[in-house]
Structure 1
Amino acid sequence: MKLSPLGDKVVLKQLEAEETTASGIVLPGNAQEKPQQAEVIAVGPGGVVDGKEVKMQVSVGDKVIYSKYAGTEVKLGDEEFIVVRQNDIVAIVED
């Protein structure tokens, strides 16, 4: 199955949570906070949304940071994705 977002929507796959802190403390699974960093899996076409022209600024493969409570969680098979609006993405992470 494949997700194809519409309008200004973006499909994200959450990156794995850190298992140890910077000081080396190992965190159990239930103590780990969900990461707000994800990889872009699919990007909608943009277009006119709410009467305004929307140009998509992210592309597939980008690593991004998104708003903490943004989006809709979707599970396809064994994989989990988050579908967010482009304006819920706050930054592109560059190496």
Structure 2
Amino acid sequence: MKIKPLLDRVLIKTEDAEETTKSGIVLAAKSVEKPQIARVIAVGPGGEVDGKEIKMYLKEGDRVISAKYSGTEVKVDGEEYTIVKQSDILAVVE
């Protein structure tokens, strides 16, 4: 199944959280924080949203940092994704 975001939405997949600290201590699954860095899987076409023209500046494959509690989580074919508005993307990681 393929997901295609609409308007100014972006489909992202969060990267796995680090399970060890820099000093080598292994963390329990409960204490691992949800990562904010994700990979862009698909990008909507942009267009007019609330009377404003929205230009999409993200592309598939970009690594991004998203707002902590933003978006809608979906599960497709056993994979977990998040659909967010482009404005909820805080930065591109290079």
Q: Is the TM-score greater than 0.5?
A: yes
Q: CA deviation at 1:21?
A: 1.1
Calculate the TM-score normalised by the size of structure 2: 0.98
Identical counterparts, % of pairs = 61
Aligned length: 94
Q: Which residue of 2 aligns with 1:90?
A: 90
Calculate the TM-score normalised by the size of structure 1: 0.97
- Distance in 1 (CA, whole Å) between partners of 2:23 and 2:53 is 46
Q: Which residue of 1 aligns with 2:58?
A: 58
SS at 2:87 equivalent: helix
| Counterpart residue type for residue 17 of structure 1 | A
| Counterpart residue type for residue 51 of structure 1 | G
- Distance in 1 (CA, whole Å) between partners of 2:67 and 2:23 is 26
- Distance in 2 (CA, whole Å) between partners of 1:53 and 1:22 is 44
Q: Which residue of 2 aligns with 1:80?
A: 80
Unpaired segments ≥5 residues, structure 2: none
1:10-89 superposed matches below 5 A: 10-89=10-89
- Distance in 2 (CA, whole Å) between partners of 1:64 and 1:21 is 22
RMSD across aligned C-alpha pairs, in angstroms? Answer: 0.6
Unpaired segments ≥5 residues, structure 1: none
